[in-house]
Amino acid sequence: MISILELRNIIELGFLPLRCQCTVSHDSSLTVKVFDSETGRVDLLVTGISTVSLTSARAISNLVGELRTELVANQRGFFIGGGQLAGQMPAKLL
C-alpha cells in the first residue's frame, strides 16, 4: 500500500510544470488544486477523491490523467467564454 504522503507527492509531481496542491481530509479523501502558472488562479479544484482504489501506479496514473483532462476542459471553457472563438485554442493549451 502507498502511504498518503507518497500518494500526495506522486499526484503533485504528475502536474509539473504546473503547481498542484494535494491535501488530505479527516476522512482520508483528497482535495486537488491546480494553479495557473502565470496568475496563481485555481484552474482545477476537485474534492472528495477516495483513496481506497489508489493502491497501484496504474490507478494513480489514471487519476492524474482524468484530472488533467478535466483541467484542459475547464481551461477551454474559460477561454471560449472569455472572448475566444469556439474551436480556437490559446497556444499554451495545445
| Domains of the chain, residue spans | 4-81
Q: What percent of the chain has pLDDT over 90?
A: 64
13 CB neighbour count, 10 Å cutoff: 11
Prior bond of 17 cis (ω within 30°): yes
pLDDT digits over 42-79, tens only? Answer: 999 999 999 999 999 999 999 999 999 999 988 776 55
**CA distance linking residue 63 with residue 23, whole number of Å:** 15
The answer to whether the pTM exceeds 0.85 is no
**pLDDT, position 76:** 75
Q: How far is CA 68 from CA 1, 3, 33, 83, in A?
A: 24, 22, 11, 23
